A and B are shown apart, each in its own frame.
Chain A
Amino acid sequence: MHHLLSTKILFSFFLLAASLECPAQVRVTKAASEVSFLDLSGFSAEGGSASGGKSGADNAPLSFRRTLESDLTRSGWFNLSGAGRAEFTVTGNVKQDGTRIIVRCEAYNTMTRERCCSKTYQDDDRGARALAHRVADDLIFAMTGQPGMAAAKIAMVGSRTGKKELYICDADGANLRQLTRDNAISLAPRWSPDGKQIVYTSYYRTQFPDVFLIELSTGARQCLADFPGLNSSAAFSPGGRELALILSKDGNPDLFIMDINGDRLTRLTYTKRAAEASPSWAPDGKQIVFVSDSSGTPQLYIIGREGGEPRRIAVGGSQNVDPDWGANGYIAYSSLIGGRFQLYVLNPATGEARQITGSDANYEDPSWAPDGRHIFCVRRQNYNSRIFIVDTLSASCINLFQESVKGDWFSPDCSGKYIKP
């Protein structure tokens, strides 16, 4: 199947693991060696008007092919410009049939002709881009054995209307859509594990910070927590039945677990002179990483879901904040070093951490992509906040949006973290 690349991937993860043993400044210097050349020239777009129309807008098959190409490139595993020396070949076509688009594709090892994927797909032609994301993730999984991130969606906060509202878009920055129009403050969106709901903090109903749930298919909204004081930072458990959240109703901001139906509330922390924030669940749902300033500055702690004594992690940095515990077991967070926030990835089993970003700007609020390789984050420079996609293996860092998308963007959360391919 995909042994050759699997070996490389194992090697990559070995490097990742090995680098975790090194001092924080040491960065993985893998580049071209783990990128496989992929020949996509035998995959054609047929049907519709060949030019894509006078407006320059793509027809469905062309849009499909372009999206597929950019998804495969963005995955970080492939270089599509090396026809003739390609390790993998993808052939097939996408064509229009009435209002449907039909896709046939095969992926195989160029040398051995061993096939690792052979599938057909069809969908409404308005869903060409979404279908391309699905096919890209299937191809990536077939060739690398790793999940992709092409079909993921990003929830975030944007302020271009003058107020902070929620927005969502695709993992490639397309289909940006404003979700709330509350003219209030909307903060800290987090996806449900199935990607059908978002929880967030908003002042829109009571003028106090409350936790709300949005059902994306209907737009229906429900208040989940409006206790006195602060209700914030809600995060779904991996099973989707519970929320970890911060409540101050007992007299101080503390970490709680609440059933999604509001039935049961368990208080986990009792730090009377400290603030807690930003919980994120371990992939097995048994522990939660969160921020507490009980030491005097905001730092990261892990606590069991039944409570107990929190254990401090992440010893470097004057502040360590905004943790996101990936399905790969690694905790991404933002660390204040030398006056700037940088992204780190930490192995909670060993406590060792690796710096991911360079020191050219502030990198904050990381969220793991479902591929366990990329991290969506905020890159802040000259007081402009934009969402970037950081590759933890190559350290490449790209803008989620085109330059034409203006405004400041905050608090990205990537869907699909727990979905198995």
Chain B
Amino acid sequence: MTRNRWFAVVVLMLVCALGMTSCRDRKGGRRAGDNIGGEVGSGEAGSLATRPEGNLNILTSVKYDAVMFDYDSAQIRESERTKLEAVADYLKKNADVGVIIEGNCDERGSAEYNLALGERRALAARAYLIGLGIDGANLQTKSYGEERPVNPGHDESAWSVNRRDEFVFFKR
């Protein structure tokens, strides 16, 4: 991609990230343009970057707080934005570092649907980070669905900590 096109993409992503904050009406039914033939980019932060090859050099000592989610939602809550800003700052200062955003769900509901929901949670963080100026090529998404709870309990106190994005950093 040329520099100009990248610029256009970043601008588009910023617009999307701003747009996301006003799109909290998911329960309000399917919106126009949410289906076949809708314009590209109104919620997707573009095609995903190719996965890094070979064994990753994981930076286990680099730890940032997990971003938490509401039940059955992939919206970045206002309270979680500073966590993403901290991740973005770190990535900006370390140009040779990439991050795998791991989306997770609580145990309730269909396991296969939760795989897709977990991916949407990871993608929401990805879009937000792109909106903060991070190159999408440094961002990978991975969904664990409901398969990796941090708390194995069966109540809201467990579920609320299991609905999360974790950040795994690696040397590029």
Task: Please tell me which stretch of A54-62, A73-81, A165-173, A288-296 contacts chain B, meaning at least 4 of its Cβ atoms lie within 8 angstroms of it.
Answer: A288-296
Identity of the chain A residue whose Cβ is nearest the Cβ of B147 in the assembled complex: A185
In the assembled complex, the Cα of A292 lies from the Cα of B112 at a distance in Å of: 11
A293 adjacent to B72 (CB under 8 Å): yes
Question: Would you list which residues of chain A between 231 and 267 have a CB under 8 Å from chain B?
Answer: 232-233, 246, 248-253
Across the interface, B47 reaches (CB within 8 A) one of A208, A246, A249, namely A249
Give the CA-CA distance A157 to B116 in the complex, in Å: 18
Give the distance to chain B from A146, nearest Cβ to Cβ, in Å.
30
User: How far in angstroms is the closest Cβ of chain B from A343?
Assistant: 13
Complex: A334 Cα to B35 Cα, angstroms: 25
Report chain A residues within 8 Å CB of B143: 209, 229-230
For A276, give the chain B residue with the smallest CB separation.
B116
Given contact pairs A228-B48, A248-B123, A383-B154, A272 touches B38 in the complex (Cβ within 8 A)? yes
In the complex, A309 has a CB within 8 A of chain B: yes
B51 contacts A by Cβ under 8 Å: yes
The digit string for A143-163, where 1 denotes a CB below 8 A from any CB of B, is 000000000000000000000
Residue-by-residue, is A162-196 near B (CB-CB < 8 Å gives 1, otherwise 0)? 00100000000000000000000101100000000
B61 to chain A, nearest CB (A): 19
Given known pairs A230-B115, A277-B115, the reply for A248 and B141 (CB within 8 Å) is yes
Tell me how many residues of A have a C-beta within 8 Å of chain B: 54
A residues 83-122 in Cβ contact with B at 8 Å? none
B140 and A228: CB pair below 8 A? Answer: yes
* B141-157 interface (Cβ within 8 A of A): 141-145, 147, 154
List, in ascending order, chain B residues with CB within 8 A of A277's CB: 110, 112-113, 115-116
A251-B116 contact, Cβ under 8 Å, with A185-B147, A228-B140, A296-B29: no
Min CB gap B128→A, angstroms = 14
Residues on the B chain within 8 Å of A24, using CB: none
Inter-subunit contact A297/B72 (CB<8 Å): yes
Task: Assess whether A233 is in contact with B119, with CB atoms less than 8 Å apart.
Answer: no
Interface residues of A in 354-408 (CB under 8 A from B): 364-365, 383
Smallest distance from the beta carbon of B46 to chain A beta carbons, Å? Answer: 5
Within 8 A of B (CB), among A300-330: 307-310, 319, 321-322
Who on chain A is nearest to B140 by CB? Answer: A228
CB distance from B98 to the nearest CB of A (A): 12
Contact partner of A321 (CB less than 8 A), chosen from B27, B36, B113, B144, is: B113
A411 within 8 A of partner (CB):
yes
B163 partner residues in chain A, CB cutoff 8 A = none
Residue A410 CB within 8 A of the other chain: yes
CB contacts (< 8 Å) of A293 on chain B: these are 72, 113, 117
Q: Which of B37, B43, B112 contacts A232 (CB 8 A)?
A: B112
Please tell me which one of the listed residues A233, A271, A273, A310 contacts residue B112 in the complex, with CB atoms under 8 A apart: A233
Q: How far is the CA of A95 from the CA of B153 in the complex (A)?
A: 54
| Residue B44 lies at the interface, judged by CB distance under 8 Å to chain A | yes
Contact assessment for B111 and A411 in the assembled complex, using a CB-CB cutoff below 8 Å? yes
By the criterion CB–CB under 8 Å, are A294 and B110 in contact?
Answer: no
Least CB distance from A238 to B in Å reads 20
Question: Which chain A positions have C-beta within 8 A of B72?
Answer: 293, 297-298
The 8 lowest CB-CB distance pairs between A and B, nearest first, are A251-B44, A275-B116, A228-B48, A272-B43, A321-B110, A296-B27, A230-B119, A253-B116
| Given A248-B123, A277-B113, 20 other A-B residues pairs in contact with their CB atoms under 8 A | A226-B51, A228-B49, A228-B50, A229-B48, A229-B142, A233-B112, A233-B115, A246-B115, A250-B47, A251-B45, A252-B44, A272-B42, A273-B26, A273-B43, A278-B112, A291-B112, A291-B116, A322-B113, A364-B110, A410-B111
16 contacts between A and B (CB under 8 A): A187-B147, A229-B142, A230-B115, A249-B47, A250-B48, A251-B46, A251-B48, A252-B43, A252-B44, A270-B37, A270-B38, A273-B23, A277-B115, A291-B116, A293-B113, A298-B72
